[in-house]
Amino acid sequence: MNSDVRCHEGGNRNWEAIGAIGEILGAIAVLLTLIYLVAQIKQNTASVVTATYESMMSGITDINLVVVGNSELASLPVRGGRDPDSLDYEEALRYAFLLRCWMNQGLKQLRLFELGEGLLVCEAKMRVLTN
């Protein structure tokens, strides 16, 4: 009977060792998963910053391209800025819409700063400018 008890106890020890190895492997798997998730979050953050920066620059560029492509509009910001009363009704309306478009872009940038995204975008812009 003594040998039966030893055999049974040895079997328990094997299962305990297997259980301990399983726990260690599980902990390693969790650690690897966390490392992977951190890398994915960093990559996603970089993508979001890039997309946000491109969106901001695209909006301003689109407005400026319309102004530059139209000789009537090209002088409007200067004339409207110097003497808004010199503009006729249609020019004043166009000038107001141009200002509204530029203001919307500025408000978009301000909102991004308030949300904390703007700082990341500025860092990305500085990296682009310094490279």
Q: What is the pLDDT of residues 107-126, one digit of tens each?
A: 887 777 777 765 555 666 65
Identify the pLDDT of residue 1.
47
75 closest CA partner among 57, 106, 58, 98: 98
DSSP, res 84? G
Q: Which helix or strand (DSSP H or E) is residue 26 part of? A: helix 2-68
Spatial separation of the C-alpha atoms in residues 82 and 85, rounded to whole Å: 9
Q: Look at the chain and report how many structural domains it folds into.
A: 1
Q: For the whole model, what pTM was predicted?
A: 0.52
Q: Which domain holds residue 75?
A: 2-130
pLDDT digits (tens, 9 = 90+) for 7-20: 555 567 788 888 88
